[in-house]
Amino acid sequence: MLNIQGLSKTWGRDTMDERVALDQVSLQLRKGEFLTVIGGNGSGKSTLLNLIAGVHQPDAGRIYLDGVDLTALPEHRRAAHLSRVFQDPLLGSAGGMTVEENLALAARRGRRRGLCWGITSAERASFKKMLAQLELGLEERMSSRVGLLSGGQRQALTLLMAAMRDPKLLLLDEHTAALDPKTAARVLALTNRIVGEYGLTTIMVTHSMRDAIDCGGRLIMMREGRIVYAAEGVQKNGLKAADLIGKFQSDAPAAC
Amino acid sequence: MLNILLGAVALGLLWSMATLGVYMTYRVLDVADLTVEGSIVLGASVAAVIIQQGGNPLKATLAAMAAGMAAGLATGLLHTLLKIPSLLAGILSMIALYSINIRVMLGTSNIPLLRLRTVFSYLQGAGLSKNQSAMLTGGAFAGLAIAAVYWFLGTELGCALRATGNSPQMARAQGIDTDAGKLLGYVLANGLVGLSGGLIAQYLGFSDVQMGSGSIVIALASLIIGEVVFARSGGRLRALCAMVLGSVAYRLIIALVFEAGMPATDLKLFTALTVAAALYLPTAKQQVGQKLSQRKEAKQRAEHPRTLQDLGKGHNG
């Protein structure tokens, strides 16, 4: 489904601050697979996601999704193929627009937008049903501005928006990191439910070892722009946080 | 006096399209577009030249709108294609338009329209005074503009435009080309401003290369007055109507201040101060609200102590 070949990105090339963010990363994902990506700050995990999403252009390498070469497509054109949830709850939805307007925008992802009404009454009814399944009471607040919702509610809404239009790939960029522990757990449970229900091929970047182990069927650890450890299936299910910390340290280069 | 007030209402209605245009950029797209200073004169100049050459006033008015759209396209391209910051892109267009406007006016800086047929002549022919005709004609244009903007912002494209201004990152993640959105926003907004300019020139009876100076501040003043006075709550339709009402209110205020004896040369200072005060208003409200609720809470605690500490505070205070 997803095929990444030799993806590289260096920030500030040929300057004093030159820093390799991603170094020849190759990665294949099968349809319906749920991959968690773990790594410290500057490990390249967010860069990987941003390159897939088209926020930045890679220096080298290619990205194929379901046979389509995404590498040259601008960010908004890739949205037809993949969807995203950001770390900052404020970024994934339009705070000045209503809940239903946000959903209507997501319902048109990857489609031509013309001069038909931006939201139809048939859509309103189906949005109401979808929101009710979140069990957050949002179905009663469809015409409230999203800016009035809590961070957890906004992430839940963004998740729902990301699941619409049957994306071939869902990218989650530390999407629970900005929430309090209780809300983060709820949003993560909802993530697992939505990914399962819609059968989404998913990459979740996280810095929580616990979440990386508990979610999905495959895990990779990144450091200094490379994949330094990978586990899946039984091997992954048997992992403990302590094992991962061990991996972090055992592979660490000598301090200099 | 009555005629002065009627004139103020008429002028406010003619300016309201410019306010709606600034609403599109300042509120919907969230950019301060200074192109307005030039595109309003461009609209005025295009309309004036066409009418002076014996053209149909209605066609001249539409041409003014098209010219405004072209000016918006220029700013939009500077911003999206050349990646020039929006404020600077607007300033560049504004400066360039100064020269262009003189070229449009065939090398002169002023075109008088005395005794020529204007878009207001149709109703004047039916026996109305100039101000009455300007009020009705201006009101009709303003009504059409409100309807058009309301309709557009409700469409798929309009929703995409609103998302572009509100949360560009979200918009791109939902497949919206934010550069195209901004471009379209600049074009439509300055089309409205150009239309306004074309009508204003016909009402005032001239087009002058200097007439746009300060127009962005006037439009902002109208926008803020409209929002504060007429649209504290309610939906988009009400907000759009408030732009027109705000434009009229601004002109009435100016007329009254002139009547009270303010020298005409102080108008721009007065307008700038009005806008500064109005922009401070939301902050001021918050500050005062905080103070009041703090005071209320302190008083409540003193009267109904809940803890020993409260009791202590009550005695001290």
pLDDT, tens digit (0-9, with 9 covering 90-100), for A89-134: 999 999 999 999 999 999 999 999 999 999 999 999 999 999 998 9
Residue B22: pLDDT over 60: yes
- When pLDDT is averaged across residues A194-215 and rounded to a whole number, the result is 93
Nearest by CB to residue B156, choosing from A74, A76, A118, is: A118
Q: Do B162 and A97 touch (CB under 8 A)?
A: yes
Chain A residues whose CB is inside 8 A of the B172 CB are 75-76, 79
CB pairs under 8 A between A and B: 87
Sheet with A169-173, side-by-side order of all strands: A82-85, A169-173, A202-206, A34-39, A218-223, A226-232
Confidence of residue A255 (pLDDT cuts 50, 70, 90): very low
Q: How far is B140 from chain A (nearest CA, A)?
A: 24
Q: Do A106 and B171 touch (CB under 8 A)?
A: no
Residue B308: pLDDT over 60: no
Q: Which residue out of B167, B178, B182 would a mutagenesis test of the A interface target, given it has the greatest number of A Cβ atoms within 10 Å? A: B167
> Which one of B2-6, B233-237, B242-246 scores highest in mean pLDDT?
B242-246
Helix (H, G, I), strand (E, B) or coil at B128: coil
Residue B154: pLDDT over 80: yes
Nearest by CB to residue B160, choosing from A75, A95, A113, is: A113
Nearest by CB to residue B167, choosing from A93, A104, A108, is: A93
Chain A residues whose CB is inside 8 A of the B170 CB are 91-94, 105
Residue B317: pLDDT over 60: no
Share above pLDDT 90 across residues of chain A, in percent, rounded to a whole number: 80
Q: Do B174 and A111 touch (CB under 8 A)?
A: no
Nearest by CB to residue B173, choosing from A79, A115, A119, is: A79
Q: Which residue out of B170, B176, B182, B233 would a mutagenesis test of the A interface target, given it has the greatest number of A Cβ atoms within 10 Å? A: B170
The mean of the pLDDT values for chain A is 92
Residue B217: DSSP 8-state:
H
Residue A246: pLDDT over 80: no
Q: Which residue out of B26, B155, B156 would a mutagenesis test of the A interface target, given it has the greatest number of A Cβ atoms within 10 Å? A: B156
Q: Which amino acid is at B252?
A: L
**Span A9-50, pLDDT tens digits:** 999 888 888 999 999 999 999 999 999 999 988 899 999 999
Residues in chain B: 317
Q: How far is B272 from chain A (nearest CA, A)?
A: 28
The mean of the pLDDT values for chain B is 93
Among the ranges given (A136-150, B149-163, B300-314), the one the predictor scored with the smallest mean pLDDT:
B300-314
Chain B residues whose CB is inside 8 A of the A108 CB are 156, 160, 174-175
Q: How far is A72 from chain B (nearest CA, A)?
A: 15
- When pLDDT is averaged across residues B1-6 and rounded to a whole number, the result is 89
What is the per-residue pLDDT for A184? 94
ipTM for this model: 0.92
Q: How far is A19 from chain B (nearest CA, A)?
A: 25
